[in-house]
Amino acid sequence: MLNKYARAFFTRVLTPFAALLLRLGVSPDAVTLVGTGGVMAGALAFFPRGEFFWGTIVITLFVFSDLVDGNMARQAGVSSRWGAFLDSTLDRVADAAIFGGLALWYAGGGDNNMLCAVAIFCLASGQVVSYTKARGEAIGLPVAVNGLVERAERLVITLVAAGLAGLHNFGVAGIDALLPIALWIVAAGSLVTLGQRVVTVRREAAEADAAAAADAGTAADTGQGSEAT
């Protein structure tokens, strides 16, 4: 849902900025690399120390590169398979840094092994959710389902909660409870989304196999009819 509507909105907003970068000679790939590096720096430098507010600010500044690079490629007419591959791959790296940073906090100063495990589950399940769609499409299936919690939802829920939880360091009592709640929501939503995609791929695979078998049977019948004639 967020991926559908928010992406369209921010793409329009960021189009002038993307055009400016192109005029300055910046390539879409460079924006992808810098954006991922910024997200990783924000997540791994701040989150493991419990500095959720500032970490979220830094991550948010760079996370929009995911929209800017694609916008630049379209404006320049240089959209390519390599660009799509690089963007998708580095998205996984950025996601891993965010949830990895949270896991490091709960394994250290946060002192909560359960939430450390939940953060790791969010990291792993997010990767698998993306993989199921990519693998299904690789074997020729449409994978016509998005699911309850896609990447956009995972990031928004986690980063909004982390940013607000960071206000605890500024004296806002009790607000740090938002982050554990958000992690549990993302974990549960990712599990549901994984189930939705697996079920969809299983159904589409069965339909494709049945259609292939029917086509093979029709071809065989046609061949036998030709021989009889």
Q: Which residues are catalytic?
A: 91
Residue 204, C-beta contacts closer than 8 angstroms, at least 6 positions apart: 136, 141, 142, 143, 144
* CA contacts within 13 A on the Cβ side of 171: 0
Contact 143, 126 (CB under 8 A): no
Among 192, 115, 120, 118, which Cα is nearest to 153's? 192
| Phi, psi (rounded to 5 degrees) for 171 | 100, 5
Q: Which residue has the tokens 């030709």?
A: 226
